[in-house]
Structure formats: C-alpha cells, structure tokens
Chains A and B, each alone.
Chain A
C-alpha cells in the first residue's frame, strides 16, 4: 500500500516531462515571439494573457530564463528599429507627431509585455541582477529610436525650432512638446539632460546673446529691463508648460547671464536712463524692476549698490561743501533731511527694504556729512530753530517726527562732542531768554540723545533744566522772605551751576545803585540759605525791562540787555554823556560797550539815544543824548543787541579749541581705562582701542592720542617697556 502510494507520488512529482522535449524551449519561445509581434501590431485581442503568462512562466521554471530574456530583447530591438525607420520617413511637421504616436504605442506594448513576462521579471531577473523588463524597454527605445542617427539630430533640431518659433511669437503645439519632453524624462534624467536640456540651454544662450545685444543698442535702460523681465517670465512659463521643473533654474540662469549679467555695467551706467537718472527722477517702478532682476545675478546688487553709493556721495559732497548752501544752516539741514527721505522711500518701495542698501545709504551719509566740519553746529542750529519758533503750530507728533529725523543725521556725526558743545550753547540761550516753545519737545530730544549716547552725554543738559526749575523756587523764596521789596525794581535771578552751562567769562560792570542794592540783598539771602557757595554775576547774559518817558511824554517799556540798562540808567542823571564817561561809569569792556551803544543809538526805529556825530560806528570821541523824539507804535520796545546768530570766526575758533580741550581728559580717561585692564599693550593697539571706545562721541585723532600717552608717561601713569619701546605698561 505504502509502496503503491510512493510510486504514484513519484510519478506525479516528475510530471513536468515537458523538459524532456528538446524543442520545448524553442516552441514556447515562438509562441511568445509571435505574441510580442502581435502586441506591437496592436493586434493583441486574439491573445490569451493567461496562456502567454503560463508559457513564459514555464520557460523560466525550466531554466530557460536566459533564452527568454535575450529573445525578448532581440525581438523588441527589431521592432524598434522598424519603428525608427517609420518615424524617420515622416515628413516635416508630422515627424514629431509620428514620434509621439510611436512612443505611446511602445509604452502600451511594453507594459503588456512586462505583464506577460512578470514571472521572469520577479525571479530570473532579480536573481541574475539583470535590467528589469520595463527599464530595459525604455533603454531599447533610447538606443534604437532616440539615438538613431537619423532621428537624433533631427529630433533635437525640431524641438529647438519649435522653441525658437514660440520665442518669436508663433503659437506652437505645447501638448506635443510636453509629450516629447516627457518622453525624455521617462527615459531617464541623463537622457533628458544630454539629449535635450544641454543643447536647449546652449541655443537659448545664443538666442539671448543676440537679442540682448539688439535691445541694448536700441532701448533705454527702463525699456530694456521691461523686456528682460518679460523674457524671464516667458521662460518660467515655458518650463511650467512643457519642460522638467528642474530646468527652471538652469534656463533662468541662462537668461539672467545673457540679458543681465553680461550687460550689467552698461545698463547701470547708461546715459540719460541709467541708475543715476532713475534715482534723480524717482522712477520707483524702474528701480524696483532693476532691483528684482539684478538680485538674480551674482554681483548684480553689489553693482547697483556701488553706483548708488558713489552717486550719493558725490551729490552729498556737493551739497555739504557748497559755500552758498552753508550760509543758511536751517536750509542746509533741511536739504539733508529731504535727501534722506527721498532715498529712504526709494529703498523701501523699490529695493524691498534691503538691509545692505540701507547700510550703503547710512555709510554714504556718514561719509559726506562729516566732510563739512560745521555739520554738528548746523544740526544744532536746525534744532534750535525748530525749538525756538519752527514748532509753533505743529502738533506733538510732527515734532517727534522731525526730531527723529534729525537724530538720524545726528547719528552720522563723528564729532558728537562738538555737537554737544553747540547744543549746550544754543540750549542755554533758549532757556535764559525764555524762548523755548515747548518744554516737552526739549525734554524728548534730551531723552533721544540719552538713548543715543548715554547718560554722560546729557547729564549736563539735564542739569540746565534743573537749574531753571530751582531758580524759580529760589526767587519765590527770596520775595517771600523780603516782602518789602514788592515796591521798586524786580530782580529775577537764575542761579546756574558752574560746569553745567557753557562757560563764558564773567564780564564785570557797575550796576546802577538800585539794582546793586537788590543784588546784594539776594546774595545775602542766597548765601544764607546755601552755605559754602559762591555767586558771581553773569551780567553779560541778563536782560532788563525798564520804563522810560520821552520828551513829549510818550511812555514806553524798553526790553534791553543788562549792559544797555546800565547805560540807559546813567541818563537819569545827565542829559549828555560822552563815550569816555559812559565807559568810566559802567566799566563795561569796550567791545561790548560799543556793540551795546550801537544797538541803542544806531538802529533805526529803536534809537532811544542820539549820537553826535551821526555815523554808523561808535567812536571814542562820540557823545550821546536821549532821543526825545523817539516814537514807536508799540508800548513795549525790544532793543536787541547786535549779535550774529552764527558764530563769528574767532568764536568758532574758540569753540573748536574748547572742544579740543575737553577731549583731552576724555582721551586720557580712555587710555587709563584700557591700560588698567590690559596692563601691557603696544602702541597700535592702544590707538585702535581708544578710537573704538570714543567712537560714539568723537573721532579721536591719533596724534592727539599719542600726545596724551606722552603726557601720561610724564605723570607716571604709564611707562615704556625697557626692551620693546612700542610696548606700554600700566603703573600705579
């Protein structure tokens, strides 16, 4: 029984007798070959998938995989050769269509064949590491059709022709193009790149080289950029429509190179339409286009930026060095502000708020503002002007805006300490003459300066405000404790802390008796409440309101300076006084006295004194009488002193000197600070560090630093190293 079973089993086991038939393989292959032919002839409806698959399966099973594989390759190759001939025979325009048609057919057939040979694909090919059926079919198509000598170049030329046609404005069959490029992509990235993309890029490069040359000869910069932009979007559109997405970067880089990079310099410097022209005429749109296009190429923005910078510097230099312009400081600063606004707008609207451009703008301004040594003064004057009267009728916010803008300019200044000096002077004048319009505006500017330059910078300025405030309190206290003084002249004293205020030599003069009594009373009151202080009278900075009755009984109140008051008071006792007498009685220095008399006697409409002889200038021999015929429409008359708003030349020198003088201790302090931490340092490094540390206040002069070092060595703060003379050591 068991024997019987085994026998059956054995016979059944070897049922695959087919192998024994030596012609089995050939026969089966013939069936399959015929099937492949039929599939290619689109005549597969008569075939049974099941049967074909079974046959292919059996062939592989019985180790005829090799035969099947090679057979499939040869058959397909033969078919593709035939197809290639058919495609090649197609005439003119139908060539591409034919190719496309055949390609679709091949794809379909290939898929069917792959399915029939699936078993081979999964086992035989897998284990022998051969190319799978589908990629093999693509490779065969590539080698036999696409690389067929008579098709290869023709295909490429046809495609490039079509692209060329489209570029010149003709309508082409984009669907067909897409199918053909899709074919290249399906055949593999390298095929697409080598057989299509590379030549396409070369042809494009050539095309754009010619076209850009043409454009640049005939168009101005703005038009050229418009055309370049159009071409660029066209190419991107083309890629989206019928090319591989990876080509976008490549083709755009070709357009960029040919249309922009190669003509960059010429475009930027084009006469009457180049960058400078655009900047001058506020062509935001063109500028924006230029920015967007140039951004795409290397060095594009650098070029634009460089040209803009040099233009800015040139323009700024003219602006600040023009002697005409510096006559009116307010106008001067206003011009600077306008320029800045303009370029700010260009950068924000056309250049996309590019940081590098903003930096370029800032460095240019920094460069040319400092070309004019008087810029700090002018800026301070501008602020003075704005805070004095300019702000009348302007809202809080506008004040802030203007001040913010001025602060921008301030930031560009290298010599901030010079500005501080001037600002202090101007502020002092404003405060003492009570001409500040808005306390808030003043304070907000101080806050801005503080945030910009730190506490040190503004501490003295703030001190000035405090002084003003305490003075008010002091006056109230003074009159409170001396109720008897409500009769007679009123004295208003502003006690200024030495050091906080711009120092001016105290010019002594003999005050009229009424006033000096009062002064003495105040002095004793003040020193009584504040021990250990010294008061000195700054008569040159005071003002006085005096009432005068003229010949015909006209009553006027005269607003005059302290010196003028002293002079006028003398005329209470005598009708005519000579210059010498006045000088003797008042002891006012002659230059001040002359100026004061000039404004009393020589200014038309304000001449409360008459001078004999009548002339413009005050001479030593002149004598003065009260002008009885003085008339004025107003009750109050302000008699100014002849002072220039701007500094006179010697004054300027003096300020300058004072600034230099102030810098010395600062430099020394910086040196000591550095050396204290470093102990030993060589000369160059000291200079560098000191310069760096003082940067926010001023640009230290190396020779000055050197002098300071010498002086410190003399005072035994530092010593030179014995071996290396360039090294300094910190002592103490």
Chain B
C-alpha cells in the first residue's frame, strides 16, 4: 500500500467519527456502504465494501494485520457497523477474544448490539479449521446419522451457525463403517480410523476386514462420537461429564497423546472452580481441544501423511515392477490391504493408490466422479468384483498429480519448484482445489522477485487464466510501476496481442476510485482494464486528469499492439526465412 492511500484513509476516518454519534440506536451502518475498488483491507472494512473485502481475503492478506494506527480491520468494521464485513472478517479468522487488546477494542467500538452479538458468537467459537480438517469434518457430518452429534454440540452453542454445516448435505460421501453405540449409529470411514488409531488400524486390517457394522453397546455414545469427530477434524469438543468415558476409549484405541492431555485436563476440571462455569453442571461445561495441542506426529496431516507414504510406496513399487499389463489398473484388492487404499488412479502410465474418502472430501470433482462411476463409461469396463475401482486421468503429469495428492492428504506442500508451479495451478483449478492455488502462489512469490519481465508477463497471463489472484495482483503491480521497462520488452508486447482488448467505453474507464458502482467485477476483470487502473494509481495523477490519462494509456497500448503485430509478422517472416533457409 502506498503512503498516499493511508493518509487519505485517515482523513476520511476522522470525518466519519464526527458523524458517528448521530444515531447509535440505529442498527444500520453509520456510514453508507460504498465501493472502494482500490482500498486496502482497512479501507474496505471501514466502507463495508464486501466485494472488495472478499477479493482481498482471497488474495491472502492477513486479516489480523494492523495499520499505522495500530488498528485491525475488524475494529473498523465494528466501529462503522458493517455487520456483513465484520462477519466476513471473523469467518476468515479475525481474532476478537475478550481480554485481548484488539478484542476489547472491537467490543467497545461496536456500533450496535447486533455487532456486539456477532463478536460474542465468534468469541465462543474456536478459530476456523484448516482446509483439510474442515473438509473432512464436513464429510463426517455429511453422513446422515452423524447429524445427531451436531445437535448435541449445539447445546453448548458451539458451531451452531457454522456455515459449513449448512452445506453438509452436499458434502456427502458414503461411509464404509458404522458403529452402534447405545442404540445410536455413528458412521465413519476406515481409512480415517486406521490413520488416527493404531487399534483401529490393527482391527480393520484383520478381524474386522469384511465387516461393516459393529455393535459397541458398552461404550458411551457422546464420548465415541466426539473422538471420531476429532479423528476427522483435529478438534475435540466434548462435555466435561463425558471426559472420563473418553479417557477409557482412548486407552483402548491407543490414542496415547490425546489420552494424556485429557487426563491432565480432567484433573484441572476437578480442582479448578471456574468462576464463570460455577452454575453449570458438568454436562453443560464443554471442553475444546485444538489439534495444535497434540504433538505434531499425532495431528491429522501427519497421520494422513503416513498413510499416503505407504500407498505411494506401493504405487511406486508397482510401477517400477511394471510386470503387469498396465492397460487399466487391474489390481487385486488384497494388494492394497496395508494402506487400505480403495481406489487406484492411473496418471501418465503411473498408478497411484488412493483413498476415496479423502479424494472426495477434498475435491468436488472426485466426489462427483466417484459417485458417477456407474453412469459413465468408466464404470462399464466389466472388471471382476474383487478389484479396486480405478480411474484414469489424462493430460497431466504424474509428478503434478503426486504433489496434488500430497496436498490433499496433508494440507502442505514441500519443495515446489517454479517449473512445476504452472502444472500445479492447472491441477488445482481442474480438481477444484482452490486452497492449493494459494499455497503454490505463496511458494512461488519469492521466486518472482528475481524474475525477468518476460517471465513476469508469462506469470501474469497464467495467473489470470487460473484465477490466482495473489500472483495476478503482484504481477500487475510490478508491471504498472515499471511500465516503461516492460514496454521495452518484446514479450510484453507479444502478450498484449493474446489478451482481449481493454474496454474502450469511457463510462467503464472513468473509475473515480470511490464512486459507487465503479468496478463491479473486482475479481477476474479484463486484465488490461486492471492494468490501466493500476497504472493510473501508480502514476498518481490528479483525479480530474484521470480520464485524459486513461486515454493516453489506451493510445499507448494501441501503439504497442501495432508494434507487436508488426514484430510478429516480422518474426513469422523470419521463421519462414529460417525454415526456408
């Protein structure tokens, strides 16, 4: 952000403050909503420009960052009474706990009760889950019998209005194990159970191999349910009264680190009289444990990583063996026992053993694909029943696929080289793994600092295509600031030819920054329009000169395009000459 922007924002802020005490009872915002197409996160929060805010958050700005006045974005949203903006910030992880500096400030500054309530609601809620945990949790709650758990949890006002749970029905993937505990069913997936608990792994690989239903009447339903929910989401939510049961179950399941933590917590609960909870009995008190409290090797990503390593090792072994007919992955079910893999994916002559539930939870594409197996050609290959279902993916490299499944299983990426980045962008878009794009973008950004203008042009085009906003913004900023340098490069001019022309309509061009209705399509607009906007900003021309400046820019572009065309025909001629020669 440039210093000019900041000073202007401070000026308007003060003027807004004067208006603030006009009508505090009014539940609407004190400042009318307006658009700040180029504002930073603080400006967008203050203006209540939800579109801009969403865009900024997608590009990955830090929601809890402070500006020069040591204020966080949430503070501005609360102060101005923009409930939607505040909600968006909170949902993206803005911190608002009471007794912290920022949190208290937000509470005191809240314009009205609705905002205050919103803060309260989020305060009681743990921070949002990482994408892996969130999607697996949705899968767990997507199983229809497991909804009961949600209801039980909602007593304690936790996650009631979790927007993810609303969509629970769409994230359904059929379970392959079902427990009956105290007459109530809990549905689960084998691979998750065996990833998280050595006990389940051992049982499921041996005695329980072919069984689907298990009756565990002696266990406590809330405890087991909480534990399995923990397996999926790395978050334990349990009422204090059920914790002793949970310790017992943990012992059986050999979840040692969890067991230790809970035992310790039980002692705390016994002797510590919490002031606020004194009037509640133990079933009302709830204990919430984040995955972070566990040692790293016991968290969900690490567990799944182990599983992945096993199946990858197997995949590699198979391919290296290569003795078999590799027409379509005809794999004996027994081969996959160790890893519990239940699907094989053939990519570029290589076969990967994977787990349906994880693919389906992480990618809508795979969910659709796996559930549609019977409707399309893929299901009709007439394979014998004891083989693994197999999928074949074309048009991508095995390396990219491997990186992708690594991300799917662990939410992490290791050793991404810029050379692979493009392919992974492609994979991520294709399989609708949008968080992956952001992860790759983060890995890529440091490399871009040393990139040549030609490479930057290339990345600009790519990021526009794949919708990697963070990279796109970065490149646009660079191009706009060093416009003259880019104009000099041939690749930049060549790129201009491949892009759709900027909107010549002057009504679209007059973009006084804060005019309402300006820049309706913040994300994925015309690349050159965005470039012009950035350029105008970077050049910091006077506002009333903007129109003319924009025209100048357009003319400049036109000239560049002409030049590029000329160069192109020349080079073609040159090529022709080369070939003919």
Chain A interface (Cβ < 8 Å from any Cβ of B) = 6, 8-10, 12-14, 16, 19, 44-51, 53-54, 57, 61-63, 112, 115, 118-119, 122-123, 127-128
Contact = CB atoms under 8 A, between A and B. Distances in A.
B342 interface: no
B521 A122 contact: no
Interface stretch (B71-79, B148-156, B246-254, B371-379): B371-379
Contacts of B368: 49, 115, 118
B524 A118 contact: no
A54 B378 contact: no
A53 B365 contact: yes
Contacts of B466: 61
Nearest to B368: A115
Nearest to B523: A127
Interface stretch (B264-272, B273-281, B391-399): B391-399
B521 A127 contact: yes
B46 to A, nearest CB: 25
Given A9-B418, A54-B430, A122-B364, A127 B454 contact: no
Interface string B375-391: 11111100000000001
B432 A49 contact: no
A54 B394 contact: yes
Contact of B376 (A48, A62, A119): A48
Nearest to B373: A49
B463 to A, nearest CB: 12
B360 to A, nearest CB: 13
B212 interface: no
Contacts of A115: 368-369, 372
Contacts of B430: 54, 57, 119
A244 to B, nearest CB: 19
B178 interface: no
B556 interface: no
Contacts of B376: 44-45, 47-49, 112
Given A10-B454, A14-B458, A49 B369 contact: yes
B445 interface: no
Contacts of A112: 372, 375-376
Nearest to A46: B377
Contacts of A48: 376-378
Nearest to A16: B465
Contact of B377 (A12, A49, A53, A128): A49
Given A49-B377, A122-B364, 18 more contacts: A9-B455, A10-B455, A14-B458, A44-B376, A47-B376, A49-B368, A50-B391, A50-B394, A53-B369, A54-B395, A54-B430, A61-B465, A63-B500, A112-B375, A118-B365, A119-B365, A119-B430, A127-B523
A122 B377 contact: no
Nearest to A108: B375
Contact of A13 (B369, B391, B422, B523): B422
B279 to A, nearest CB: 37
Contacts of A6: 452, 455
B432 A118 contact: yes
Interface string B517-528: 000010110000
B462 interface: yes
B467 interface: yes
Contact of A119 (B372, B393, B429, B455): B429
A50 B393 contact: yes
Interface string B451-464: 01011001000100
B380 A45 contact: yes
A53 B368 CA distance: 11
Interface residues of B, number: 35
Contacts of A13: 422, 458, 462
B419 interface: yes
Contacts of B378: 48-50
Interface string B78-117: 0000000000000000000000000000000000000000
Given A12-B419, A118-B368, A122-B364, A57 B377 contact: no
Contacts of B395: 54
A500 to B, nearest CB: 58
Contacts of B462: 13
A127 B432 CA distance: 15
B121 to A, nearest CB: 27
Contacts of A8: 419
Interface in B38-71: none
Contacts of B521: 127-128
B298 to A, nearest CB: 34
Contacts of A128: 521
17 contacts: A6-B452, A10-B454, A19-B498, A44-B375, A45-B379, A47-B377, A48-B378, A49-B372, A49-B376, A50-B391, A50-B392, A53-B369, A54-B430, A112-B375, A115-B369, A122-B432, A127-B521
Q: Which of B377, B393, B429: most chain A CB closer than 10 A?
A: B377
A118 B393 CA distance: 16
A127 B523 CA distance: 7
A42 to B, nearest CB: 10
B273 to A, nearest CB: 49
B372 A9 contact: no
Contacts of A51: 394
A298 to B, nearest CB: 35
A114 to B, nearest CB: 8
A110 to B, nearest CB: 12
B377 A45 contact: yes
Interface string B168-212: 000000000000000000000000000000000000000000000
A127 B372 CA distance: 27
A64 B368 CA distance: 23
Contacts of A61: 429, 465-466
B465 A9 contact: no
Contacts of B452: 6
Contacts of A62: 465
Nearest to A9: B419
Nearest to A19: B498
Contacts of A57: 429-430
A12 B455 CA distance: 12
A20 B500 CA distance: 14
A10 B395 CA distance: 19
Nearest to A124: B524
A122 B454 CA distance: 31
Contact of B524 (A10, A12, A127): A127
Nearest to A51: B394
A309 to B, nearest CB: 48
A507 to B, nearest CB: 78
Nearest to B465: A61
Contact of A123 (B391, B393, B467): B467
B321 to A, nearest CB: 25
Contacts of A14: 458
